[in-house]
Structure 1
Amino acid sequence: MDRRNPQVSNSMAMTSQVLYLVSSNNATYNSTNCSDIMKERNPKVEIFLMTLLTCVFIFGTIFNSLAVWVFCFKMKKWTETRVFMMNLLFSDCCLLFTLPFRIYTTQHLFPFNETFCNALRFSYFLNTYLGIAIITLISIDRYVAIKFPMRAGTLRSPKKAALACGIVWLLFFATRLYLELGTDLQFRDSSRCFRKVTTKPLKRALYFTVFGSCIPMVILIFCSTQIIWTLKKKEKMSINEEKNIEKTISIVKTNLAIFLLCFLPLSIGNIVRFVIESISVNCYLLKAINDFVHVAQGLSDLNCCLDSICYYFVAKEFWEKASLFPRFTKQLIQDQTNESSI
């Protein structure tokens, strides 16, 4: 017959309750403590971002203003290049709109309400992922033009370019609308509008990284390498043609390198942060990874300036219409025209 001492049973029950309360309090404390650590500012990171974003805002405004003047007011004919550039230009302008607020938040808390913060986030991610998609479409268009020159006339047209851009816009807006209306947004902190301060792993960040950045990156690398390989195999008819091909290869390599510089660190950072958050490691390591992602986001903003250099200025139509520096660009126009004919 099992006879237990009532005092012993009560003592064991009380001990279990105390242990449960202690563990719960420790978990709450650790969670709160980790959240406080994530909210701590890193002066070195903030100074770097303030300097970088200020430069991006100044030069991005200058370059994109020139692009607006040419593509919107000087060009008359719609080409595949103009369609893609107009979409890329719009996405860059969305980024420029957010930069003053992002520069301010490197030193201060975000002063406006959550609705305005959400609008700024939307505009920022519009540039990031729509810009990646448009750059990928440009690469595919170049690949088709060079790899299949005999069929390029039927595969490429301004209407098809506009349709491809329209599909990208539709997918982006549908995805963002689903995320805004159909998911839990309690992880957001409007006072730190552009920073993730929660330690909770976000599947949305992983999805956007994989489908919005990594897959387009693979496509871009494939198209670029195929373009380079095809041009190197092309039989050169003259020394001038050989020089033009070498210039085109250099342009493709530069575009690819800049794309990887801007977006590869951000993609790696987002994936690593998701993995580390999923396994719940030390809070200070999470903070270090979060700071890295924050810096990588600043580097990705460089595309606002570099898009102008690497895409607008290699377009034959741009140089034909950019009459701001007629004496200076006469030879460049001829060079760009020759390169575009390859």
Structure 2
Amino acid sequence: MSSPQVAMCNNNNTCEVEILQAVGYLPVFLVGLLLNMAVLRVFLAKRAMWTDTHVYMLNLAAANCSLVFFLPFRIYNAFHRLDRTHFCTFLISTHYINMYASILTVTAISIHRYLAVKYPFHTRTWRSKKVAAVVCGTIWVTVVTICAVFRKDKDPRKLITCYEVSQESTLSVEFLVVLEVLGYLLPVLILVFCSTQTIRVLMKEKDEDEGTTVEKRNIIGIVTANLIVFVVCYTPIHLGFLLRFLFKKIKWESLKLVCDFWLVCEWIATTNCFLDSISYYFMLKQFYFENSRSAVNTHDRQ
């Protein structure tokens, strides 16, 4: 799902925060690349132990990695303007396709986790790697299809530079509704419901031993962290979409604050590519450690 563009500045009124924001992408790129590659390394090293949950997490890591890989072009563009070509369209599309694939994958993980905790026996029959793969495939088909349907919103002729949209170019009402409702409102509502219900169920369960208590606390911590990261990262940018649409008829000079706000919002949204990876990395490490320890104990008993 692509945005018409990432900035609302023109050549005569360049946002002061643009260079600072571009420099901000450098640590996002470095940290995001290292963390996501670390997650992928753990995945590939333990393929025999994969579950349906790991298929979702692999899809999330792939989306985050794809977004991170193209950040150097954004950094380069801040200092040496890229030409307005279809390559800019590709960069914009790739950025937002992966961002919304990440949003929908996090939503799917939240639903999966809630059902597994709330209805562990009733949902066991369809909680499989094959079903998870179908869900992930559907997510990619959805975001790419939406990108293709609204391809006119990212035409190079509407750009001032590779990362700047002209004043006359605005989101269509239909595209705005898709971005706000399908891309944010529904996911955040689902995430809030599933996360709070998962925490509620876990807190009501009686612990059998200390190990179960620690594991439950870890899950609650991860669920809470994922919810906070999602809200903090993706709320500002979707507020920015709405503000840009509402301010489209205001004089260009009046849009400077919207421009600055938008640049910061997009940077905040991009930081999600490594913030999610932190919690999922430790969850993977804990999962594989516990399984390895169980295997050793089983071997010792034999």
Q: Same fold judged by TM-score > 0.5?
A: yes
Shift of 1:145: 0.6
Distance 1:223 1:334, change over 3 A: same
Pair 1:176-2:147 in alignment: yes
Residues in 2 aligned to 1:72 and 1:241: alpha-carbon distance in whole angstroms? 28
Equivalent residue letter for 1:148: Y
Larger Rg: 1
Unaligned runs of 5+ in 2: 1-7, 295-302
If asked which structure has higher relative contact order (CA below 8 Å, sep 6+), I would say 2
1:41 matches 2:14: yes
Map residues 6-85 of structure 1 onto 2, 5 A cutoff: 40-43=13-16, 45-85=17-57
Partner residue, 1:188 = 158
Tell me, yes or no, if the aligned pair for 2:9 and 2:164 is still in contact at 8 Å.
no
Pick closer, same or farther for the CA change 1:309–1:337 going to 2, 3 Å. Answer: farther
- How many residues of Structure 1 are paired with residues of Structure 2 in the alignment? 285
Match of 1:154 in 2: 125
Q: Is the 8 A contact 1:39 1:197 kept in 2?
A: no
Q: For residue 281 of structure 1, what is the amino acid of its counterpart?
A: I
Deviation at 1:62, TM superposition (A): 1.1
Is 1:60–1:305's contact at 8 Å kept on the other side of the alignment? yes
Query: Does residue 218 of structure 1 match 2:189?
Result: yes
Shift of 1:335: 10
- Letter of the 1:41 counterpart: T
Question: What's 2:71 paired with?
Answer: 99
How many Å separate the matches in 2 of 1:311 and 1:276?
38
The answer for the alignment partner of 2:4 in structure 1 is none
Q: Distance in 1 between matches of 2:287 and 2:215?
A: 16
Q: Distance in 1 between matches of 2:239 and 2:292?
A: 35
Secondary structure class of the residue paired with 1:311: helix
In structure 2, relative to structure 1, the CA distance for the partners of 1:163 and 1:91 (3 Å cut) is: same
TM-score, normalised on structure 1? 0.75
Code of the aligned partner of 1:188: K
Change (3 A) 1:294 1:184: closer
State the shift of 1:302 in Å.
0.7
TM-score by length of 2: 0.85
Q: Is the 8 A contact 1:52 1:298 kept in 2?
A: yes
Decide which of 278, 282, 286 is 1:313's aligned counterpart.
Answer: 282
Contact 2:32–2:68 (Cα < 8 Å) also in 1: yes
Contact 2:9 2:165 in 1 (8 A): no
Are 1:314 and 1:336, in contact at CA under 8 Å, matched by a contact in 2?
no
> Partner residue of 1:263?
234
**Hey, which bits of structure 1, 4+ residues long, moved more than 3 A?**
35-39, 182-187, 334-338
CA shift at 1:217, angstroms?
Answer: 1.1
Query: How far 1:183 moved relative to its partner?
Result: 6.5
The share of aligned pairs that are identical, in percent, is 32
Match of 1:295 in 2: 264
Structure 1: segments with no counterpart, 5+ residues: 1-34, 321-332
Indicate conservation of the 8 Å contact 2:153/2:171, yes or no.
Answer: no
1:253 paired to 2:212: no
